[in-house]
Amino acid sequence: MCNTVAMNPGIDHTLRGGWTLEGGKLPAHALRWLRTRTGLSEHPTPVAPDSVLVVPEPELGEAARADLVAVVGEEHVLLDRTARLGRAGGLSYVDLLRHRGCGQLAVPDAVVLPADPDEVLAVLKACAEHNVGVVPFGGGTSVVGGVSALRGDKPAVIALDLVRLNRLVSVDPVSRLAVLQAGVRAPEAERLLAAHGFTLGHFPQSFERATIGGFAATRSAGQASSGYGRFEDMVEGLRLATPVGELKLGVAPATAAGPGLKDLVVGSEGAFGVISEVTLRVRRAPTHRRYEGVFLDGWDRGHEAVRDLAQQRVLADVTRLSDAEETEISLALTGGLKSQALTGYLRARRVTDPCLLILGWEANSAAELAARRAATLRVLRAHKPVRLGKVLGEAWRHGRYNGPRQRDALLDAGVCVETLETATHWSQLSTLRSAVRGALLRSLPGAVVMCHVSHAYETGASLYFTVLVPRATEDPIGQWQTAKSAACRAIAPLGTISHHHAVGTDHAPYLPGEVGELGVRVIESVKRELDPTGVLNPGKLLPVPPKG
């Protein structure tokens, strides 16, 4: 049962428990639609005021505090309730419920704010000496428990917030490389790079808040990954602070000097060290863009079209296929189109099960854009698309970061709303989609389950599911966790447990199934070498601390 409270408009959502206060309202037509489709009866749980949440007294010992103060200064070791609550977990549905008074929050004992890579290194050494756990904290947008302030076997745990590592260190325009500190948030990174005529091209839905270090630590994938690549494709090198010293990687664009250590660090989720700087491959900022909406008839035709585009190497930079449920719902929730008129038009064009495909091209000249667009559309023609021009494409582009705001509003309205994702090979894609849908629907009867492909490769694609169902009043956390476990069990034999959200705590039990016991032992042995006392991000990536 949640500790429900009256709506408090004074709560700062940018600090905790949601995305932002702006635009967090659902339009009346969307609420009406939800009530009809899900049987929702309003059961609001707004973000709880600080005062009703249980925040234990900080347990950081005086000697540890004094050593941390000696490194970063008194004003950068925060013990107050607001600062600690602001770093108590990430933005999964369960984290958000906890900030709404359901269940127990894991609150760090202190928040420590180093200023540069040397201070990060010194903080880690001090924490190892005093046996204090360290949770690296970037934008705090993890949806898999990655920033939960778990102590493991440690007497205390700090959140190491990288917000002060906010500089563009250097740009090499000849090689098209930029060095950014780990705490730079994505919009600021784009602003800093734009001054040099460059872009990173990394636009995940968490763009507004997530950081360069967080992207590297989680192998993030942006919405334009078909064009610009995943974040790991952008990483040329990095600096990793560990309790036993600093690892510096990336002297050349490619190397045969042994196995890829960079790949060990990218995706290590703060369990091997703290990424303090990243050297990134940058591109010339595009001067021309075109986003379009296309309808395809049914999921099978839709995903075959995306496979064809991928295998003939003519994917648009953004290639995003929604299944029929997601198409219906996104049109209903945005209210952007007169649905009946559209349905009639599509029927007349023999599209009875419309699946929306968003295509977006970004280029440095009109000719380049025209040539790439023509190549995509030539291949698409065989799949009988109904093209609707720029309206839907541009609407998607302008609303591409609205999801988190809508989620806050849905939570306020009493909806259980969460997403999960996976990836697999083309030959398994439809089987995997059906298995996950089935598992979710069996656990959450009456739920709306929608799915899209947003990252396509020659050999396979990602699947991203969104679930909407009225929230259970008695045990809302259990309601979702049961469904999520069922979905993970369905995913395990068919695909990866995460395509881009990472492992965190939530997926850790499924890692051995994916990489094998030997794979887990390799990860454990790397951790032991870099973090011998096990202070780094307890309980993440690996479910239990390695022995010995």
Ligand X SMILES: Cc1cc2nc3c(=O)[nH]c(=O)nc-3n(C[C@H](O)[C@H](O)[C@H](O)COP(=O)(O)OP(=O)(O)OC[C@H]3O[C@@H](n4cnc5c(N)ncnc54)[C@H](O)[C@@H]3O)c2cc1C
The one among 249, 502, 520, 523 contacting ligand X by CB under 6 A: 502
The reply on whether position 309 binds ligand X by CB under 6 A is: no
For residues 141 and 297, which CB has a smaller minimum distance to ligand X in the complex? 141
Q: How many residues bind ligand X (CB under 6 A)?
A: 39
- For residue 48, say whether it is annotated as part of any ligand binding site: no
Of 138-146, 289-297, 310-318, 432-440, the segment contacting ligand X by CB under 6 A is: 138-146
- For residue 381, say whether it is annotated as part of any ligand binding site: no
The one among 500, 510, 535, 545 contacting ligand X by CB under 6 A: 500
The reply on whether position 436 binds ligand X by CB under 6 A is: no
The reply on whether position 404 binds ligand X by CB under 6 A is: yes
Given a contact cutoff of 8 angstroms between Cβ atoms, the answer to whether 326 and 299 are in contact is: no
The one among 141, 242, 279, 498 contacting ligand X by CB under 6 A: 141
* 289 φ/ψ angles, rounded to the nearest 5 degrees: -140, 145
* 317 φ/ψ angles, rounded to the nearest 5 degrees: -60, -45
* 514 φ/ψ angles, rounded to the nearest 5 degrees: -90, -40
Given a contact cutoff of 8 angstroms between Cβ atoms, the answer to whether 166 and 183 are in contact is: yes
- For residue 203, say whether it is annotated as part of any ligand binding site: no
The one among 236, 269, 323, 328 contacting ligand X by CB under 6 A: 269
Beta-carbon neighbour count of residue 474 at 10 Å? Answer: 8
Q: Which of residues 312-331 bind ligand X (CB under 6 A)?
A: none
The reply on whether position 18 binds ligand X by CB under 6 A is: no
Run of H or E including 311: helix 299-311
- For residue 271, say whether it is annotated as part of any ligand binding site: yes
Shortest distance, CB of residue 350 to ligand X, whole angstroms? 33
Shortest distance, CB of residue 452 to ligand X, whole angstroms? 11
Q: Distance (Å, rounded) from C-alpha 499 to C-alpha 398?
A: 25
Nearest to 346 by CA among 387, 290, 317, 302: 387
Shortest distance, CB of residue 279 to ligand X, whole angstroms? 14
CA 145 to chain centre: 11
- For residue 142, say whether it is annotated as part of any ligand binding site: yes
The reply on whether position 403 binds ligand X by CB under 6 A is: yes
The reply on whether position 117 binds ligand X by CB under 6 A is: no
The one among 18, 136, 237, 538 contacting ligand X by CB under 6 A: 136
Q: Which two tokens stand for residue 400?
A: 């591409």
Active centre residues (catalytic)? 464
The reply on whether position 143 binds ligand X by CB under 6 A is: yes
The one among 181, 199, 211, 319 contacting ligand X by CB under 6 A: 211
φ/ψ region of 389 (left if φ > 0, alpha if ψ in -120 to 50, else beta) reads left
The one among 45, 181, 220, 498 contacting ligand X by CB under 6 A: 220
Give all strands (DSSP E) within 245-382, no chain letters.
Answer: 245-249, 274-281, 283-284, 288-297, 318-322, 354-363
Q: Distance (Å, rounded) from C-alpha 148 to C-alpha 374?
A: 47
Shortest distance, CB of residue 387 to ligand X, whole angstroms? 26
Of 46-54, 142-150, 375-383, 523-531, the segment contacting ligand X by CB under 6 A is: 142-150
Given a contact cutoff of 8 angstroms between Cβ atoms, the answer to whether 485 and 494 are in contact is: no
Given a contact cutoff of 8 angstroms between Cβ atoms, the answer to whether 215 and 201 are in contact is: no
Pinpoint the alpha helices (H) of 73-148. 81-86, 93-98, 117-130
The reply on whether position 214 binds ligand X by CB under 6 A is: yes
- For residue 517, say whether it is annotated as part of any ligand binding site: no
Shortest distance, CB of residue 383 to ligand X, whole angstroms? 26
The reply on whether position 205 binds ligand X by CB under 6 A is: yes
The reply on whether position 88 binds ligand X by CB under 6 A is: no
φ/ψ region of 73 (left if φ > 0, alpha if ψ in -120 to 50, else beta) reads left
- For residue 140, say whether it is annotated as part of any ligand binding site: yes
**Which positions ≥6 away from 445 have C-beta within 8 Å?**
none
The reply on whether position 146 binds ligand X by CB under 6 A is: yes
- For residue 275, say whether it is annotated as part of any ligand binding site: yes
Instruction: Return the amino acid letter for 527.
Output: K
φ/ψ region of 255 (left if φ > 0, alpha if ψ in -120 to 50, else beta) reads beta
The one among 47, 156, 210, 294 contacting ligand X by CB under 6 A: 210
For residues 95 and 292, which CB has a smaller minimum distance to ligand X in the complex? 95
- For residue 141, say whether it is annotated as part of any ligand binding site: yes
CA 423 to chain centre: 15
Give all strands (DSSP E) within 146-250, no chain letters.
Answer: 156-161, 168-172, 177-181, 198-199, 235-242, 245-249
Of 189-197, 216-224, 345-353, 391-399, the segment contacting ligand X by CB under 6 A is: 216-224
The reply on whether position 140 binds ligand X by CB under 6 A is: yes
Using the structure block, give the residue that is written with the tokens 């189109």: 337
The reply on whether position 90 binds ligand X by CB under 6 A is: yes
Run of H or E including 289: strand 288-297
Q: Which of residues 452-491 bind ligand X (CB under 6 A)?
A: none
- For residue 41, say whether it is annotated as part of any ligand binding site: no
Q: Distance (Å, rounded) from C-alpha 474 to C-alpha 1?
A: 5
Using the structure block, give the residue that is written with the tokens 């705090």: 140
The one among 137, 291, 361, 396 contacting ligand X by CB under 6 A: 137
Nearest to 292 by CA among 368, 369, 225: 369
Q: What are the binding residues?
A: 136-142, 269-275, 407
Q: What are the binding residues for substrate?
A: 407
Binding site for ligand X (CB under 6 A): 90-91, 135-143, 146-147, 162, 182, 204-206, 210-211, 213-215, 217-218, 220-221, 269-270, 274-275, 403-404, 500-502, 504, 537, 540
